Structure 1
Amino acid sequence: MGFKTGDFPPVEQDTFLERPLQERLRALALHWVEYGFGTPKMIPATYVVKVIFLYVLGGTALATWTSGTAPFWNVTHWWNEPVVYQKLVLWTVFLESVGVAGSWGPIAGKFKPMTGGILFWARPGTIRLRPWKRVPFTGGDRRTAGDVLLYLAFLMSLLPAVLLPGVESASLTEALPDNTSGLVRPALLITPIVLYVLCGLRDKTLFLAARGEQYLPALVFFAVLPFTDMVIAAKLLICVIWVGAGVSKFGLHFTNVVSPMVSNSPCVPGKWLKRLHYRDFPRDIRPSKVATFTAHVGGSTVEIVTPLVLLFSTNRGLTLAAVVLMVVFHLFIVSTFPLAVPLEWNLLFAYLSVFLFLGFPAGDGYGVGDMSSPWLAAGIAAGLAFFPVLGNLRPDLVSFLPSMRQYAGNWASALWAFAPGAEEKLNSLPHRPTKNQVDQLQAMGYPLAVAEITMQQTIAWRSMHSQGRGLFSVLLKNLPDLDERTVREAEFGCNSLIGFNFGDGHLHNIDLINAVQARIGFAPGEWIIVWVESQPIHRGIQHYQVIDAALGVIERGTWKVADAVKEQPWLPDGPIPLDVTWTRAQAPTASAARPQVAEGLAP
């Protein structure tokens, strides 16, 4: 891999797209094992430059300069300043909300332009996805001028809290008599908190992009709690996030995440190390014992045990070791450049590990038992755990982000299958500031075949995950003309339609399909979606749907996760067993849909 030249799959570009889909999946999955996406080093370097200048240097310079602390390069003088910590959280919220942090750039499927976010959310007429239909004044799926003003007001409301100096706080002075920087003025946080909620009720995309499930509680703690309680509550928050993520990795999914994630890392020194994460490359590319160890010792165990040590340890040596481990953990994730590219989030959590647990250790009066009221501690802990618990039991009710299932592999996911030429219709979507990714790549100078093969690498990536094998099984069962269709990874496609995705299939469920269909009007059979919900933690199955954009849901069923993970990504033995629980009466088959349209027989 060169700086400007990537490792493109070694296939015949002129004929590769004529091969059956399963053959293409096999070739691209095998290539992924050794090269990942094969992107030139210039791409991760672009992310590194962005993070360094916009976040590490820009964020810390802004936070320290406006707080009256030592200059940003004098880290030893500000790393444990509470106001700097608050402002770095607020700056992260701002960048996420603009769309230049997570889910940014080519790794997330944003090629031209590389930013989604504000280009969509500050534009009236774009698609808006409300989280709950029963909330009054949230009807419809079109972004209005009022929504745009609400969003821009939210962005602007964050800046005074970042830019204005801290104010004196009696609770801070009592805890830290020598502190002169103060805290962010609590009154400046009221408007961002209110607008956070209002924007989220109007559009769940905005709330999730701004990582409201994690940062909104932090803002509330900043606004209403005295200093010591604020620090302890922040510890409870980050520990719930870590432990929740660790618990979500129980089961069979996460091992299938580690292997392709390591393969895609530009920091892994050699192909031999990548191949160690597979059983018997190239004959068997299911996860190896090395991948299982990495997943459940380096992943689940670290995320559950280490936070508990940090929360309750009063031994400075043990606390230091645990902090180092969590910093390394987050830096490892950064080094893999996962497809949602949450680099700023991971760097912030690495810093929070140091600030919260070394700056204010439990042994110095910042343990859970030091909170002003045990009932307050219990209430905060219960409130923070509510959505992770509910989301693991009923994933259909809660996004995987509030469920704290980051990187767990247990995701709601989808694949899109377009009849020949039908995908082009998406480019007629009104008010959309982008085109389909394959067209974005061509606009950058890639030939059509190269652009198409590049996009098919994303479905090969999906096939290497547990839910991908189930989704392809449903496609194979339902679409006899599958080899003639264009199959797309829905997470990438969703990014081009609403400006954001973070691996959450709830952002491209039936609501998005209906919103697009109302604007474009696909004919029956032109756009087929296979969509699957996350696995409940206490059950061994996943529920899927087959959706025809023109007809709605036409089939529902389940598959066993154990059946999915035991197969090769390209399903050489055919579809895994599926239990069809419901079908739409007399629904036209996908292969028969186009003739029906021509004859005027479609409903």
Structure 2
Amino acid sequence: MGFIKPTLPDVDLEEFLQMPLRERLRIMTLKWADHGLGTPRMIHVIYIVKLVFFYALGGVAIATATSHLPAFWHVSQWWNQPIVYQKVILWTILLELIGLAGSWGPLAGKTKPMTGGIRFWAKLNTIRLRPWKAVPFTNGDRRTWFDIVVYLALIVTVTIAMVSPGVHSDSLSAALPGNTSGLVSPMLLIAPMVLLVVIGLRDKTIFLAARGEQYLPALLFFTVLPFADMIIAGKLLIGTVWIWAGISKFGMHFTNVIPPMVSNSPLIPFKWLKRAHYRNFPDDLRPSHLATFMAHGPGSFVEIVAPLALLLSPWPWLTIAAAVVMVSFHLFIISTFPLAVPVEWNVLFAYITIFLFIGFPNWDGYAIWDMSSPWLTAGLLIGLCFFPVLGNLRPDLVSFLPAMRQYAGNWASAVWTFTPGAEQKLNRVTRCSPNTVDQYINFGWDPVTAEAFTQQVTAWRAMHSQGRGLYSVLLKCLPDIDTRTVREGEMSCNTIIGFNFGDGHLHNEDLIRAIQSEAQFEPGEFVIAWVESQPIHKKTQEYKVIDAALGVIERGTWNVKDLVDEQPWLPNGPIPLNVTWQRAGVLH
């Protein structure tokens, strides 16, 4: 990779762009195996500087300065202070709400400008996506003044809670008699919780961006639980996130996540090590035995066993070992620079691991069996597991984030296609950013380089299991696919609504309908292949084909096994599809 220039396939790029889709996918996936996305190193440096100096040091500096604690460089005097734990979470929520944390910057499809968030969510008549149509008072797909006021009020109330000094807590003083910093005032946390629920019922984009499924329970614990129960509940929260994420990695999808993830890491300079994660580079890019071991050894198995050890361990040596494992787990994810770039979230979880399990170990009265009531423990576990259970059984009802399927490879996803020139109609939409390719051109790249680099993400999708199904659908449904502009749905969605964390629910037919109301595509100009996550009890996935002008025009299923048995570029042609419904007279 160059420091300023991207790493692209070693071919004549103008000829490359004229090749059939499957040949382009073959060339790009082979290039990805060695170089990942090929992002200029400068971009990685920007993310690291932002993460270390703005997020980590900035957050600790604010937490300590507003809590009567020594300066942030006196780590030994603040790392185990409960108010720092609370305020770092509030700082993270604030940055997520503004759009300066996850899904920020070039790795999320935003190069110029790099920020979506408040630039878009605080504007009138921008696209708003409601989570459930059955919720009253949520009709429409545009933000109103009500939405903007609620959103800005949420930012203000989170900021006030974060910068306000702590208040006395009897339960804290009983547990830690020498503590003088107190806790964030529970009264200051009521408004953020209420506003987050209100905005979440009207606008799933902002709720998911704020990681409400994880931070809202934390705020609730800060508000209603005495100190010892608050700490234990925090352990249950992070433990259930880990364990359900580990459970979600069972199955056929996750193994296909590991090779492209490792290949994208700028910290792994050895081609032989990246290629070792593929079965037989360059002929067979299915995961190797090493990738399978990494997926289900250090991956799913460790992500269940290590958290259980942290929750149940009575021994310091086991707790320390398990904490080191989980901190390393999150640092590894950061090192790969995943495209949704949830790097702040991973740093926060690494810190919380140390704070909760080392700072307040089980043997000091902070074990799950030390909670004030077993009924409270049972109730918390039921509440924390509700959405993961529902999301795994009915993924159509729940985002993969509340379902705790981060990194699992089992995601709702989509590939967008346009007839030549039709992509420019997206610029008629009130949107967050220009088309990704146009951003690169505005950044100073020539159009050929910009187009070739933009297409790299389509190869990333093909290297994941569901991508092979999506491309199979397009190959079968669109005879002109080789002449179409093909885009990864997640990246394109990000330029429209300012956020995407890999959740295809953010760009299903609801978003396409909202886009169409302004873009006015003709039938056939903008066609999308879209797929739902695989339910945990089924062997198939449900896909649909969406025409922006006509709506859903085909539904069907495919067998997941057929995906993982095939190469990313489908050399044997499309996988078998089971068409269950088709709109008459549209597809032939």
State whether TM-score is above 0.5.
yes
User: How far apart, CA to CA, are the structure 1 residues paired with 2:14 and 2:139?
Assistant: 48
Write out per-residue CA displacement over residues 423-460 of structure 1, whole angstroms, 9 at most, x where no aligned residue.
10001113x24211111111111111111111110101
**Aligned partners of 2:123 and 2:143 also within 8 Å:** yes
Task: State the AA in 1 paired with 2:537.
Answer: H
Percentage of matched positions with identical amino acids:
65
Write out per-residue CA displacement over residues 443-494 of structure 1, whole angstroms, 9 at most, x where no aligned residue.
1111111111111101011000000000000000000110010111000000
User: How far apart, CA to CA, are the structure 2 residues paired with 1:368 and 1:459?
Assistant: 45
Q: Does residue 240 in structure 1 map to residue 240 in structure 2?
A: yes
Q: Does residue 129 in structure 1 map to residue 129 in structure 2?
A: yes
User: How far apart, CA to CA, are the structure 2 residues paired with 1:247 and 1:222?
Assistant: 28
Task: State the AA in 1 paired with 2:315.
Answer: N
Task: State the AA in 1 paired with 2:555.
Answer: R
Task: State the AA in 2 paired with 1:544.
Answer: Y
1:19-38 aligned within 5 A: 19-38=19-38
Counterpart in the other structure of 2:356 = 356
User: How far apart, CA to CA, are the structure 2 residues paired with 1:377 and 1:13?
Assistant: 59
1:147-158 aligned within 5 A: 147-158=147-158
User: How far apart, CA to CA, are the structure 1 residues paired with 2:433 and 2:37?
Assistant: 22
Q: State the SS of the aligned residue for 1:262.
A: helix
Relative to structure 2, which stretch is displaced further, 7-16 or 123-132? 7-16
User: How far apart, CA to CA, are the structure 1 residues paired with 2:269 and 2:171?
Assistant: 49
**Aligned partners of 2:436 and 2:495 also within 8 Å:** yes
Q: State the SS of the aligned residue for 1:399.
A: coil
Q: State the SS of the aligned residue for 1:181.
A: coil
Q: State the SS of the aligned residue for 2:452.
A: helix
Task: State the AA in 2 paired with 1:524.
Answer: P
Counterpart in the other structure of 1:91 = 91
Write out per-residue CA displacement over residues 3-59 of structure 1, whole angstroms, 9 at most, x where no aligned residue.
223322212122211111100000000000000011111111000011112111100
User: How far apart, CA to CA, are the structure 1 residues paired with 2:574 and 2:257?
Assistant: 21
User: How far apart, CA to CA, are the structure 1 residues paired with 2:220 and 2:20?
Assistant: 54
**Aligned partners of 2:326 and 2:350 also within 8 Å:** yes
Counterpart in the other structure of 1:325 = 325
How far 1:351 sits from its partner (Å)? 0.4
Write out per-residue CA displacement over residues 234-280 of structure 1, whole angstroms, 9 at most, x where no aligned residue.
10000000001000000011110010000000011311110010011
Q: Is there any run of 5+ residues in structure 2 with no aligned partner, and where? A: none
How far 1:574 sits from its partner (Å)? 0.1
Q: State the SS of the aligned residue for 1:580.
A: strand
Q: Does residue 520 in structure 1 map to residue 519 in structure 2?
A: yes
1:372-383 aligned within 5 A: 372-383=372-383
How far 1:586 sits from its partner (Å)? 2.5
Task: State the AA in 1 paired with 2:127.
Answer: I
Relative to structure 2, which stretch is displaced further, 332-341 or 137-146? 137-146
User: How far apart, CA to CA, are the structure 2 residues paired with 1:56 and 1:411?
Assistant: 30
Counterpart in the other structure of 1:305 = 305
Counterpart in the other structure of 2:484 = 485
User: How far apart, CA to CA, are the structure 2 residues paired with 1:155 and 1:10?
Assistant: 47
Q: Is there any run of 5+ residues in structure 1 with no aligned partner, and where? A: 590-603
Task: State the AA in 1 paired with 2:554.
Answer: E
Task: State the AA in 1 paired with 2:108.
Answer: A
Task: State the AA in 2 paired with 1:530.
Answer: A
Counterpart in the other structure of 1:544 = 543
User: How far apart, CA to CA, are the structure 2 residues paired with 1:485 and 1:269?
Assistant: 35
User: How far apart, CA to CA, are the structure 1 residues paired with 2:382 and 2:351?
Assistant: 25
Q: State the SS of the aligned residue for 2:141.
A: coil
Normalising by structure 2, we get a TM-score of 0.99
Counterpart in the other structure of 1:76 = 76
User: How far apart, CA to CA, are the structure 1 residues paired with 2:51 and 2:377?
Assistant: 35
1:372-411 aligned within 5 A: 372-411=372-411
How far 1:588 sits from its partner (Å)? 5.2
Structure 1 pair 329/433, CA: closer, same or farther in 2 (3 Å)?
A: closer
- How many matched pairs? 588
Normalising by structure 1, we get a TM-score of 0.97
User: How far apart, CA to CA, are the structure 2 residues paired with 1:173 and 1:515?
Assistant: 53
User: How far apart, CA to CA, are the structure 2 residues paired with 1:450 and 1:119?
Assistant: 28
Write out per-residue CA displacement over residues 482-539 of structure 1, whole angstroms, 9 at most, x where no aligned residue.
0010111000000000000000000000100111111221111011011000001111
User: How far apart, CA to CA, are the structure 2 residues paired with 1:546 and 1:5?
Assistant: 36
User: How far apart, CA to CA, are the structure 2 residues paired with 1:14 and 1:173?
Assistant: 69
1:187-266 aligned within 5 A: 187-266=187-266
Relative to structure 2, which stretch is displaced further, 495-504 or 52-61? 52-61
User: How far apart, CA to CA, are the structure 1 residues paired with 2:283 and 2:350?
Assistant: 38
